[in-house]
Structure 1
Amino acid sequence: MAAGVRLIGPAVLRVRVHLVGSDPEIWRLFEIDADLRLPEVHDALQTVMGWENSHLHEFLDFDPDLYVNVTPMRPRRWASALLREDDDEGFYLAEEDFALRAVLTHQVPLFYVYDLGDNWLHRLDLIETLPKAPGEPSVTVIRGERRCPIEDSGGVDGYDHILHVLEDPADDEHDDLSEWVTSMHNNPGRPFDATRYDTRSVNQALRREVPTGNTRTQRK
């Protein structure tokens, strides 16, 4: 379907997400039910990317690294009830009140920050809008490249540093970081491989974790 065409009924959004600043780029192409609410989108992104869902997150309709001027209508940020507990000034909108189709368009990308300390910034771009068939899975990964970084590895720069040290056995930090990566990787049956992304296993996990259905949600 051509860009800019908006479906009124059940729809699937074909989306490309990448980890901003990653080089080589860490990215995924996936399809997702347009009517999933942002908390469900968060859960889907955790599985699609390979995160462990152990930190806070937020959604934004602007790039926080580039946006400067703030008008009364923008920017918009969405967060969970947990993050909104201390938001006395109403900084955040309730993420559970918004469906994905209401905040991601061909004209405006959506940004997702996971771990507000390491600040893993993701950009979601809408590629195509398609009709959703009955019984179609809510989320399906088409393809992607490279595993996501290790949790708590210090953001994009910290993770890059770890990868460079792992490649150099002569580095003073090599042994300590190798041991740490092994403990954090938590998969003794498969050695850590930063280049690997297994679409099949991710889709199997999505079938278990993200319900399938055409339940419509109220949109804002």
Structure 2
Amino acid sequence: MNEKPRPALFRVRVNLVDSNPEIWRLIEIDADLTLSQVHTALQAVMGWEDRHLHDFEDLDPHTRWKPGQPEPRRWGPAYLVEDDERLIPEEDFTLREVLTQSRPLFYEYDLGDRWLHSIILIETLPKTSTDHSVTVIRGERRCPLEDSGGIDGYEELLHAIADPAHENHHDQVEWVTEMHGNPGHPFDPAIFDKNATNRTLRKLFPRGPRG
């Protein structure tokens, strides 16, 4: 009989692919969370609002699979699996089962804007009863605004709101103000609040019997 794996934390780096300056997080996450739970964690870790579809892949979507490589796999929520037989239910697999140091994981959010995140395993740590399921250790820059058009669209948006002479400056500032929804704190793409993010994670993942 196979021995049950010991509780573990994966220390991983999550990077928003092609972001420049780079938008990234260093987190510690329970290796036994299902990919469905990892999705919930990544939404909070990055600062997304969970308005759109998502999936996971173990092959960089920007590269082509070559014969001799392991067959690429894709995971998604059960309601998408019904319409795509190539998709594996994300509820049935844990992070431990799909992420290795030799093979990173890719998480795509909003299949229209295509916000692609790379998830790279740095090290495995023992998990104790006092450890939280998900913790942000470090990070830089907030994630883009929802529906801002992917990396290229977001970069153009930032350029427009920073330049009063830009032809779309006024309209884009109005849109950002409406989307940001926090007039007391002007939108600043450079800010990432690690403490606020961890407070959100504590609500989403309260400590249970295994931490």
Q: Please say whether Structure 1 and Structure 2 have the same fold, judged by a TM-score greater than 0.5.
A: yes
* 1:210 Cα offset (Å): 1.8
- How far apart in 2 are the matches of 1:114 and 1:12? 24
Matched positions, count: 208
Matched, 1:112 2:107: yes
Report the CA distance shift for 1:72/1:170 in structure 2 as closer, same or farther (over 3 A): closer
CA contact (8 A) 1:10 1:35 kept: yes
- How far apart in 2 are the matches of 1:72 and 1:25? 29
Gaps of 5+ in 2: none
Tell me the secondary structure at the aligned position of residue 120 of structure 2.
Answer: strand
Report the CA distance shift for 1:95/1:25 in structure 2 as closer, same or farther (over 3 A): same
1:18-167 alignment to 2 at 5 Å? 18-69=15-66, 74-87=71-84, 90-167=85-162
CA contact (8 A) 1:138 1:213 kept: no
Paired amino acid for 2:174: E
Match of 2:179 among 170, 176, 184: 184
Matched, 1:193 2:188: yes
* 1:8 Cα offset (Å): 2.8
CA RMSD of aligned residues (A): 1.7
Paired amino acid for 1:204: R
Partner of 1:4: none
Paired amino acid for 1:148: C
Partner of 1:3: none
Runs of 4+ in 1 over 6 A off after TM superposition: none
Alpha-carbon deviations, 1:123-165, whole Å to 9, x = none?
Answer: 0000110000113110000010000000000000000000011
* 1:70 Cα offset (Å): 6.3
- How far apart in 2 are the matches of 1:178 and 1:196? 18
Gaps of 5+ in 1: 1-6
Match of 1:9 among 2, 6, 10: 6
* 1:69 Cα offset (Å): 3.2
* 1:85 Cα offset (Å): 2.4
* 1:71 Cα offset (Å): 6.9
* Identity fraction in percent: 58
Matched, 1:170 2:165: yes
Tell me the secondary structure at the aligned position of residue 102 of structure 1.
Answer: helix
Paired amino acid for 1:50: G
CA contact (8 A) 1:47 1:206 kept: yes
- How far apart in 1 are the matches of 2:155 and 2:183? 22
> TM-score, structure 2 length as denominator?
0.94
Alpha-carbon deviations, 1:27-62, whole Å to 9, x = none?
Answer: 000000000000000000000000000000000001
* 1:187 Cα offset (Å): 1.3
